Structure 1
Amino acid sequence: MMTGYPGFISGRLYRGLKEKDPSARFTFLVHPSQMKKARQMLDMEEKVKLVEGDITQEDLGMESGVMASLQETVTHFFHLAAIYDLAVPKEAAEKVNVTGTDRVNQFVRSIPGLKRYLYFSTAYVSGERTGRVTEEELDQGQRFKNHYESTKFEAEKRVRALDGVPLTIIRPGVVVGDSRTGETAKFDGPYFVMRFLDGMGPLPIPYIGHGRNPFNIVPVDYIVNATVYLAHAGKDGTFHLTDPSPYTAREVYRMISEELLGRKPMFTLPARLADGLMSIKPVRRYYDVEKEAIAYMTNQSDYDSSHAQAVLAEGGIRCPDFASYLPNLVSYYKKHREDPEKKIKIQ
């Protein structure tokens, strides 16, 4: 059973799980607003059942008969549903990310035949921490850059508090498109760099801040391959699905600039000044960049993924180098940069 469908990662995860085990049957808990899209994407696939529901409601918004049936048949539960927007208001983030996860946890505990609960957290539960962050660390008294981070932190605390549940916690870095095709659902995260650079026109290109911090980027196909392997291997614990050898934010910025525009940045714009400029609504709307994105160019933790790397190596799964697939990301962005479905609405 899976939440978050028909989201970008959940859709790809479904295909990966189906490829791994063609005999598997799937149930997707789909929000009413997404039911039409989910039906169109699945196109009457026989081994898939769509259940209308809402993770923020009691019993996940399911009818009692449907819930009872699922309690008897579900063996694996994948919880991906969340609000990922960096600019999400506090109330909305808490309702979906915290209350929603509480509701899912209650349902998961009611499944007698549960073999594995896979919860999608984020590496950014580390908040404003700097330096090395290990996979088992969580509450270190850190502060957070936005409500997305703080609510995912609270949600992971609640998941970790479950007793007697076979649990795998997935902590991705910044997820971008497919490393082979560049395909992505939304131009957020590092794509804000591309948006910003697009807006520079013929002007000299600045770096944003010192950029000495690691900027941890991973392609969606790595996340999917790793999750499929961890689900079937039945591995307990928390896994940083992050790049074990990340480039610095400055290096990422330069590589994107060269690939997208064929030009290198010429000078450094102080991060505080950039943050101040993006606090002005007309400026951030002109550049199509969320103000909250600036912090990720100047302040990130260094994620220790040694446990994940050791386990995934058994399945021959490794994170590709960012430089090797950046041309595919940029090529896809150029082809779809004006697609309204992929743009993020800037407040």
Structure 2
Amino acid sequence: MKVLLSGASGTVGIPLVAALLAHDADLRLSCVLRSQKARSALAQTLTPVQRERVDFIEADLSEGAGVDVAAGLLTMDDTPTVGVHLAADVSWDKSCEEMQQLNVQGTRNFARLLLAASARPHMVYVSTAYTQTHDWDYRNGYEESKAMAERSLREEFGARLPISTFSCSLVVGDSRTGEIARFNGLYPLIKFLAAFNPPFLVGNKDGLLDIVPVDWVVSELHAMVLRCAADGTPHECVASAGPHRVRYETTVRLIEERIALARRRHGLPELAPVPILRDRQWGFLKRALAAWQPPGISRSDFRYFERLLRVYGTYASSDRVRAPLHVGTPSPDPMAFLPGVVDHWIAHHPRTVRPQASTASSAPAAQEQPA
């Protein structure tokens, strides 16, 4: 079998490459990467022997001309080929229009590459469990663009390309080690709580977050790839936490507890738990105190603070997510793996639990792993 993979240098892509190479010594793996930087990021995670088994295709999927060039270099044969499309803009704070070039057009361009690579293709479109193609109120441009991409993919290629879908929810680190390739999704919230004690957060305390560990997600996605290669039949999988969803306040308090442990090791005082306001309370504050800014927070930090409140407040107040579907095993309980996830982040950012000025303004935009 052959596998054509986009997004191979991302959160799910890096461990998926390792899983595919470990499973099948005869696998032919081609990774579509948008730049030399992405290629280097993936290559340095592989052993020299593994690198020899991977073909690197440099192409920006958002640009049709580059995809045409890459497609012209591919040799079509009759080997069953599964194309796994992971590459996406996963920002939660962009508009749908800003994300269409990569998320929608990029999906169509990946399908074109796949059709150029094999006479027996099968595509696995990786989406998010926080959206679906119909009957959904999209909370941000990411959700809307991922649904739009799937609809566009099926409309243009459904008659000549078997299409399977794999949707996962909010991906965090490995359930055993806490390790992860990219700190996005939940991690900007961890960074903000660790960098300084914010005056409050916004959302429904009892809202449920759907958090899944990357090793479980990769295991389920790997299993889908093998099924698609074996029978050529379209499949669907939703890798979400289901009954293991965790309350927003529980998540925040757990993060605070792990930060407190790290602060104690450095002789720092404990911080008071951060209050969580409902949306209407935050709305009242904004109307009543138009010029208000919490003391000790720079203007740029506060702009980031407001953006973070909007992003996480939305998901804490509207906990709509798809239920698990066709998974091999249930997702692990977040209360068992989240402490290790937070500890792993702290170990890689030790300055955030030492006395210093706020660094929140340099934090990345809150994002979700896509998928």
TM over 0.5: yes
Name the residue aligned to 2:140.
Answer: 146
How many Å apart are 1:125 and its aligned residue? Answer: 1.8
Map 1:1-347 → 2, pairs under 5 A: 1-33=4-36, 34-42=38-46, 44=48, 45-58=51-64, 60-63=67-70, 65-67=72-74, 69-70=75-76, 75-110=81-116, 112-126=118-132, 138-140=133-135, 142-161=136-155, 162-201=158-197, 206=200, 208-234=202-228, 236-245=234-243, 246-261=245-260, 265=273, 267-272=275-280, 274=282, 281-285=300-304, 289=308, 291-305=310-324, 307-309=325-327, 312=328, 317-337=329-349, 344-346=363-365
* Paired letter, 1:335: A
Looking at both structures, which has the greater relative contact order when contacts are Cα pairs under 8 Å and sequence separation is at least 6? 2
* Distance in 2 (alpha carbons) for counterparts of 1:243 and 1:191: 18
* Distance in 2 (alpha carbons) for counterparts of 1:211 and 1:249: 5
CA-atom RMSD, angstroms?
A: 3.1
* Distance in 2 (alpha carbons) for counterparts of 1:339 and 1:118: 40
Structure with greater Cα Rg: 2
* Distance in 2 (alpha carbons) for counterparts of 1:287 and 1:328: 28
State percent identity of aligned pairs.
Answer: 23
| SS of residue matched to 2:26 | coil
Q: 1:22 to 1:288 in 2, by over 3 A?
A: farther
* Distance in 2 (alpha carbons) for counterparts of 1:339 and 1:66: 47
Long gaps (5+) in structure 1: 127-137
Q: 1:73 to 1:150 in 2, by over 3 A?
A: same
| SS of residue matched to 1:51 | strand
8 Å contact from structure 2 (residues 202, 312) kept in 1: no
Q: 1:260 to 1:61 in 2, by over 3 A?
A: farther
8 Å contact from structure 2 (residues 103, 146) kept in 1: yes
Q: Give structure 1 regions of 4+ aligned residues with deviation exceeding 6 angstroms.
A: none
* Paired letter, 2:259: L
8 Å contact from structure 1 (residues 87, 290) kept in 2: no
Long gaps (5+) in structure 2: 262-270, 287-291, 294-298, 353-361, 367-371
How many Å apart are 1:345 and its aligned residue? Answer: 2.9
How many Å apart are 1:111 and its aligned residue? Answer: 5.1
